[in-house]
Amino acid sequence: MDPTPVAQTRTRSSPGPGSRIARFGISLFAAPSYLRDRGLPRTPVQLAGHDLLLPSGELARLPEAVWMQQRAGARVVFRSSSMAALVEAAVRGHGICAVTRAWGEGVSELAHVMEIESLKPRPVWLVLAPDVGKRPAVRIVADRIGEAFRALSR
């Protein structure tokens, strides 16, 4: 059985033989205990005095990482090239992290702080090799993947 090439990509140009199946907005999340102790910022300006968990390495170029780095008066307390490590640090109450709203809301130990409205939602593309995408079984699975991602992005 040959593997089916399916990829989720982030690109500025058209990915070729694929389709955009969803868009995910970026939001800030923190543990409820952190927000109880430090307060709930409701605007970007109110992030001053808060602890931020920032992506590093290649992830430091993500729009949300740049946006968070520019928050005057906020303190960067942890950097990681692993988004999962940033989310775990937020769960443990170490600060505020930025992830897609779907990811953050899927972590029961996190509370939504605010959406970063100035950032464009991130597209998710489903790309299939042209010959593989014509197979009925693959098409059915690709359609279900698209439906699942669209449901998460609502």
Condensed to tens digits (0 to 9), the pLDDT of residues 52-100 reads: 999 999 999 999 999 999 999 999 999 999 999 999 999 999 999 999 9
Summarised one tens digit per residue, pLDDT across range 134-146 is 888 988 898 899 8
Residue span(s) of the chain under CATH 3.40.190.10 come to 26-115
Q: Which fold has domain 26-115?
A: D-Maltodextrin-Binding Protein; domain 2 (3.40.190)
Q: What is the pTM of this model?
A: 0.81
* C-alpha span between 12 and 10 (Å, rounded): 7
